[in-house]
Amino acid sequence: MKKELLNYTQNRELSWLEFNKRVLEEAQDITVPLLERMKFVAIFTSNLDEFFMIRVGSLFDMAHTEAQTVDKRSGMTAIEQLKKIYAAVAPLYKERDKTYADIKRQLNPYGVCGLDFKELDSQDKKYVKKYFKEQVLPVLSPQIVDANHPFPHLLNKEIYVTANLSDKNHKGKVRMGIVPVPQFISDILYLPGEDVRYIRMEKVIMEYLDIVFEQYEVADPNYICVTRNADIAPDDEALEVTDDFRILMKNTLHKRRKMAVVRLEVAEKLSDEMEDFFCEKFQIKPVQIFRTNMPMKLSYIFTISGNLPEPLKKALTYPPFTPQPSAAVEEGSIMRQVRKKDVLLFYPYESMQPFLKLIKEASVDPNVLTIKITIYRLASKARLVEYLCAAAENGKEVTVLIELRARFDEQNNIDWSERLEEAGCRVIYGFENYKVHSKICLITYRNRGDIQYITQVGTGNYNEKTATMYTDLSLMTGDYSIGKDAALFFNNMATGNLDGHYNRLIVSPTSLKQNVLRLMDEEIEKGDKGRIIMKMNSITDVDFIKKVSEASCAGVKVDLLVRGICCILPGVPGYTDNVRVISVVGRFLEHPRIFSFGTGKEQKIYIGSADMMTRNTQKRVEVACPILDDNIKKIINHDLKIMLSDNIKARILQNDGTYRKRELVEPYIDSQAVFMEEMIEASKMAKEKPKKKIGLLSMIKNIFH
């Protein structure tokens, strides 16, 4: 069976690189506004940074400690995977550099110009030199590298300007000079004038190295950036050292700064001597060195749009879109509305405001007894936290299970946990070997002497910023059976019990995968009348992949909407003939997890927080919730139909692991554009005819048809 599996599966890392290639394709799409295209280059770059820090870092460790371990989906060892990754990444660097240069050239006529020093006129050069001497030079920390000055520790993803230095008094003696680009100054220097012209700080420093190292002759100026392994598992540390998990996490973050180098980026071609020098210092091989002609950091691109005058912004960025008030929510008490009927929010097309209003209302409602919530990622400014703190201060029992190991958000979560605790909330951190990734909130209240519940289950984080950028579903329900399960779930979390049994909710690591496979078996029994549609971020779980193949062989039509990694190959004769995999990369990050089994009255739909990845199904606490309201089922079916019909932003996975665009035929459907239009119109109709109580579904049908 293991060998059979290799016939219709592929390596997860190479699949991820194919996903990031689709992000780069958005940067190459001429229908996307120019500055938005540049943002996609920035997203591609930050994605690749994280890939090296986490996935390559993990393989780097495995290559040294578990060299013979073989990837089940590709049959490759860690070393073989690394070789394939380096070979696949090299052409992506060239493609990215070319894409960046092309967009940069097209932005110039609009007065948005990233300049090299040689492109500055004499007045600009005077301005830059004055700024450098007065604002930059005093805060630089240059050093030479020789017997008395050892090579410094280079921080992860920070830029360092380097050069070879010859002593003016001792000809022939050459040493290295190295200058960190300070983290506390801007990445770019804006130049005077009406246009948005700028030069990157590393180029400014590189130009004036002769001032920095005035007693030396400067040659071979360059700038470099190391990427370090950041794949740290706090659970592997000695937990006995403290009974406060926050302290352990702070120590873990400190350790991340010192991990092994997995990649070196350079701006200029290295001489053989310099290549050997860096390989020795960083303990890397030449294949881990990547030269790039574009910035190693591009985060400043996101701030540039804020500096544009309005006409220019209109020409270079997407038309503004504001998440709409939900047409399913009326004025007045949100708690009262959810008690009467379930409410589904679809971010970012609809606003997160009804959920936030629900928590705010609960924080002051005298009948509310407890509010319990699991938190994985939050915005740096979070009204949700303020409402939870207010609830605790108003005498409600507030329990917050906050996951301190949310990668790269650890410090933010540590800070929020301290704020919540200070306000009187009970803060807990989950399990030693399992991340709590669920998105569930429970409000318990007393109604005429009876205990009642309002439960919210989502597919995405309680992050008010990303709720305007990521597509996600958020269900609010007053269903008693779901609320009872949610109450049991929170009790189990607080008492360290991962083995809870639930009637409505399906929860990993104990019942989520098992129930998904069981529901797939029900469709398999129907043969060619079976139907499975699933939407998620990634697929790697081998048991799930085998079951998809089994369903396909039984004649079940399987559609998988998978944004990122997909280790199953569709259309492989005898294995996945009836499987179709579609990936949508567009303006918003596709993020919902939807599991649909069957059709008609027998159809069962769940939404939740889990991808079908081994880490989610076996090493995380995830929650999925059934959709019980028939009207909401119809809305989700409509949404799935639009996503499956997308022929503008969708790519179809081929059985060789590559992706192809669909044939562009009428009707032209960009699913995200359709949803934006639908929600704008539905919200407008709800405002115009509030008393007629037009159903959201009928609104959407009218708009779409």
User: How far does CA 411 lie from the centroid of its chain?
Assistant: 17
Buried b (16+ CB within 10 A) or exposed e, 597-614: bbeeeebbbbbbbbbbbb
Return the closest-CA partner of residue 114 out of 204, 18, 233: 204
Element (H, E) at 638: helix 630-645
Asked if 348 and 467 touch (Cβ cutoff 8 Å), the reply is yes
Exposed / middle / buried, residue 240 (Cβ in 10 Å: 0-12, 13-18, 19+): exposed
Helix pair 383-393, 353-364: axis angle to 10 deg: 10
Residue 568, strand partner residues: 9
- Helix (H/G/I), strand (E/B), else coil: 435: strand
CA 619 to CA 508: how far, in whole Å?
8
CA 448 to CA 242: how far, in whole Å?
46
Cα distances (angstroms) measured from residue 633 to each of 564, 594, 604, 701: 25, 11, 9, 14
CA 86 to CA 553: how far, in whole Å?
36
Asked if 339 and 477 touch (Cβ cutoff 8 Å), the reply is no
For the chain, what's the residue count?
A: 705
Q: Catalytic site residue 638?
A: no
> What is the 8-class DSSP label of residue 134?
I
Return the closest-CA partner of residue 92 out of 21, 16, 157: 21
Return the closest-CA partner of residue 93 out of 32, 33, 154, 52: 52
CA 529 to CA 52: how far, in whole Å?
44
Q: In the numeric block, which tokens belong to residue 586?
A: 């567009």
Find the catalytic residue in 170, 254, 437, 501.
437
- Helix (H/G/I), strand (E/B), else coil: 161: strand
CA 15 to CA 80: how far, in whole Å?
15
CA 403 to CA 246: how far, in whole Å?
10
User: How far does CA 311 lie from the centroid of its chain?
Assistant: 31
Residue 474, strand partner residues: 345, 458
Beta strands (DSSP E) in 478-541 are 506-508, 531-536
DSSP output for 304-330: HGGGS-HHHHHHHSPPP--PBPPTT--
Q: In the numeric block, which tokens belong to residue 664?
A: 């562009």
Asked if 487 and 623 touch (Cβ cutoff 8 Å), the reply is no
- Helix (H/G/I), strand (E/B), else coil: 425: coil
Q: In the numeric block, which tokens belong to residue 165?
A: 């230095």
Annotated catalytic residues are 437
